[in-house]
Amino acid sequence: MGAYHPAYRLQPEIRTQLFEADAMPAREYNLMMVDADRDRQGLIDSIAKVDGILAESQVGYVYVTAKLSKQQLLKMAADDHVLWIDITTPTEEDMNIVRQFGGADYIEGKGKFTGKGIRGNIFEGIYTTHQEFAATTPWRTRPIAVTRSGRSTHGTATFGVIFAKGVVKTARGLLPDGQGLYTYYPGVNRYKLVRDLVDPKKSYKAMFQTASWGYSRTTSYLSTSAEMDRIILAWDLPITQSQSNAGATSIPRNSRPQAWAKNIFSIGGVRHYNTLKASDDKWARSGSIGPASDGRIKPDLCGFYDSVYTTYSSRTTGYGNFGGTSNATPVNAGHVGLSIELWTDGLFGHTKTVWNKRFGARPHAMTSKAMMINTARQYPFSGTTHDLTRVHVGWGHPHVGNLYDARNSMLIVNEEDPVRNKGENRYFVMVKAGVAETKFTMVYKEPEGSPSASIQRINDLDLKVTSFRDKTTWWGNRGLLASNYSMSGGSSNKVDPVENVFLAKPKGGVYIVDVLGKSIVRDTHKGTKVTDADYGLVISGISGGRDKTGPALSLTTKGKGDLTFRITNLPTGYSEGFTFLSLTTKKAVGHGNFFGIEYDNLTGATLIWPKIKGDPMHFPATTDSKAFPNAGYTLPAGALLLLKGLSMDGVTLFANKTGLFESTNVSRVKL
């Protein structure tokens, strides 16, 4: 074995040109990394050192694109972050761009996530005989008609964006192993349809629905908008809806009335010009835009408006280029399906299920919406008149690669903590110094509004984030109409059931997250006797929880009433530490309200525990190698015998002179 010579890293055409060309113009190259997870930042730094121009570096890609001169190219060919270099070329009109851009290829490479066991309903007719829709496995039969069958080339295209199996590789759908259901919509009672789709006694067991059509365009919230809010509130199914294609008209806000619904996933458009680069994407008067008539941010998300190659034909082997928000909408639905697959595979700490049990283990609809918005790829913009401003493309393009990568640095509340009228639910999270961004998303499901009202919101829940260190406060959506990141101060949002706080390079330390039940006049949580409301809450970019990249806590027992505490990878510079315990373990590991555990009476006991050398509950920093946390600490057999059979969560926090600054993961043990 010898050194990996730079010549071996170059596309043959490049080597030929290096030998034969007197001069080579500066141009763009794709620089493939040896390890896409570890080498990205090092490669970016190397490009900067040779004064190259970074053109594209997206999470999930195996390469970085840079503009390099001949001499810069030769230097990069000798860089050991680089596995291969080739010349960038124009991308053609393929569905596989969608799969790469939104992270579907990325997560397939990570864990073979292709939609196995995921079932979705396309609310259109299709040509079922297309070769891309053939049965392949026990979990993927021919398309199944629900309520009414019928044929449409348009529906065939939307179905193919999600479920095409990949006979033609460039038309492969987002869920090639998923089970497609379809319904030809004329005359169908949608409320009953969705009820049947989610009825656990029936065979359909749909996990999402998508519609790339709607009633006559309007700028108002109408009865058909209210209908969708009622359907989603009643049956808890995530539904994507095309905003429409009025961007180039004199009234670009003209949209399908269903898209103005509060609970629906409204989907706008962005032109990608057949390239993988996000930097050249533009709204460019494509899809219909928001805001809604009452000022709510719409669309919620966006997808490719132009040139996607899929099953756009009535023929068994026919294909064509598909576009508009009709395409963008199933693109989003497919990513929702992939997110449900990740969830039910246990990637966020919830119970892993087998493929045919996913329906009963799926997240709630508003949790799905919060997950997609929180991890979407935002388009950079500034100001309310920018081409890619918020009400043109919403919160961005879905990206399941971002969702996958954030899986261990998230707190997710899956409609588990109903908030009462005038009540408050509080969460404590730790943000590690140096993190690129931390994002907080709260989405609550709404009863149908009144089309005659000036504001369609019925209940009013608020998201508030506070830095414990300097008391800076951010309210949901403040500043986000004109910027990618939030403004501090101000007051609560009064119109949106989707509220975000996005922080760029936040200061490390403790953040307090409050969900406030400012005004709850319609009960949306039926499990209690009081008036309260459900919500999905997703926080990403935090430490602790399920994150073991920092200090790591392990609780173990031999089952004899004993308990051993061990911590590895201790942080530097701490002066004292606290280990908090909880016997409330109903939630998935790492998703509790107090640094990943659920605060209870046992947790509160630590707050008054005296600081004792070697005591895991409250300990000073020490150089003694035999004292906790430098060594393990064991409560002897019998000490916790009264708790035998119960589960316990634990988390350790570290403080310095400025306060708490670091957290371990949450460890769960059955005593």
Q: What is the pLDDT of residues 245-304, one digit of tens each?
A: 999 999 999 999 999 999 999 999 999 998 989 999 999 999 999 999 999 999 999 999
Tell me the average pLDDT across 56-80: 84
Joined tokens for residue 577: 């530490």
- pLDDT for residue 92: 41
Poorest-pLDDT segment among 18-32, 133-147, 508-522: 18-32
pLDDT exceeds cutoff 90 at 83: no
pLDDT exceeds cutoff 90 at 90: no
Across 195-224, b (16+ Cβ under 10 Å) vs e yields: ebbbeeeeebbbbbbbbbbbeebbbebbeb
Q: Cβ neighbours of residue 199 under 8 Å, at least 6 residues apart? A: none
CA angle 225, 231, 236 (to 5 degrees): 130
Share of the chain above pLDDT 70, in %: 98
pLDDT exceeds cutoff 70 at 89: no
Q: What is the pLDDT of residues 477-503, one digit of tens each?
A: 999 999 999 999 999 999 999 999 999
- pLDDT for residue 519: 97
Q: Where is 426: in which H helix or E strand?
A: strand 424-431
- pLDDT for residue 93: 42
pLDDT exceeds cutoff 50 at 514: yes
Q: What is the pLDDT of residues 165-189, one digit of tens each?
A: 999 999 999 999 999 999 999 989 9
Q: Cβ neighbours of residue 611 under 8 Å, at least 6 residues apart? A: 576, 618, 619, 620
Share of the chain above pLDDT 90, in %: 86
The better pLDDT of the pair 18, 656 is held by 656
C-beta separation of 302 from 324 below 8 A: no
Q: What is the pLDDT of residues 314-350, one digit of tens each?
A: 889 999 999 999 999 999 999 999 999 999 999 999 9
User: For residue 623, which amino acid is it?
Assistant: T
pLDDT class of 96 with cuts at 50, 70, 90: low
CA angle 191, 297, 408 (to 5 degrees): 85
Handedness of CA 398, 401, 406, 412 (dihedral sign): positive
d(CA 507, CA 465): 13
pLDDT exceeds cutoff 80 at 365: yes
Cα distance between the two ends of the chain: 52
Q: Cβ neighbours of residue 270 under 8 Å, at least 6 residues apart? A: 281, 282, 283, 286, 287, 302, 303, 304, 305, 328, 379, 388, 393, 397
| CB atoms closer than 10 angstroms to residue 360 | 10
C-beta separation of 642 from 635 below 8 A: no
Domains and CATH numbers, the chain: 6-87 (3.30.70.80), 96-393 (3.40.50.200), 409-540 (2.60.120.380), 552-670 (2.60.40.10)
Q: What is the pLDDT of residues 186-212, one digit of tens each?
A: 989 999 999 999 999 999 999 999 999
pLDDT class of 94 with cuts at 50, 70, 90: very low
- pLDDT for residue 20: 79
- pLDDT for residue 57: 74
Tell me the average pLDDT across 491-518: 97
- pLDDT for residue 23: 78
pLDDT exceeds cutoff 90 at 59: no
Tell me the average pLDDT across 560-564: 96
Handedness of CA 338, 339, 340, 345 (dihedral sign): positive
